[in-house]
Amino acid sequence: MLLSLPNELLQIIALEADERSRKRLRRTCKILSDLCTPPVFRSVKMYISWDGRWTPLALLFLTALSSGLELARHIKHLSGFLSESKELNDAASSSISDARTRKREEDVKLFNRLFVDAILLMMSLQLLSLERLEDDGRWNG
């Protein structure tokens, strides 16, 4: 029934719906996915932490974007929230911390490469912001 409406009305519905509804509509069918994708990916927030709490999702997302996924062209605002574990910064001498440090360095290099590749595909990008979070996840305002 919804798909029997003209595309102009479907576009208005997609634009007026809240974020959660858009994401749900996007998963229902190809027509609604095509209509809801631009507003869903207009503003993207990434949470990056080198202690492994958030980074895997951010790396997956950047890998998908940098591989040429069409979603990158819809991103107008990209916000990155960076957090680094105090535990990783304080520990410096044990072999465990050496392994963690090497893993973190590899993650940072991979993230940087994917981030630059993805940014190049974001043709609509108008605003890029990066903020540091405190260890407890609060903004460092």
Question: Is the distance from CB of 84 to CB of 50 less than 8 angstroms?
Answer: yes
Residues of the domain holding 61: 41-141
Does 49 share its domain with 102? yes
Does 78 share its domain with 122? yes
Does 59 share its domain with 91? yes
Distance CA 41, CA 45 (A): 10
* Segment 30-42, tens digit of pLDDT: 999 999 989 988 9
Residue 55 DSSP code: H
For the chain, counts of helices (H) and of strands (E):
6, 3
Helices 19-26 + 30-40 axis angle, to 10: 150
Count structural domains, the chain.
2
E strands, the chain, where? 43-49, 77-83, 127-132
Closest to 38 in 3D by CA, of 66, 63, 10: 10
Does 62 share its domain with 79? yes
Does 80 share its domain with 16? no
Residue 21's alpha-carbon distances to 17, 26, 33, 46, in angstroms, are 6, 8, 12, 20
* Segment 71-100, tens digit of pLDDT: 889 999 999 888 765 554 554 445 557 777
* Segment 85-138, tens digit of pLDDT: 555 455 444 555 777 778 778 878 888 898 899 998 999 999 999 888 775 555
Q: pTM surpassing 0.85?
A: no
Does 35 share its domain with 63? no
Closest to 61 in 3D by CA, of 72, 74, 52, 53: 72
Look at residue 65 in the predicted model and tell me its pLDDT.
86
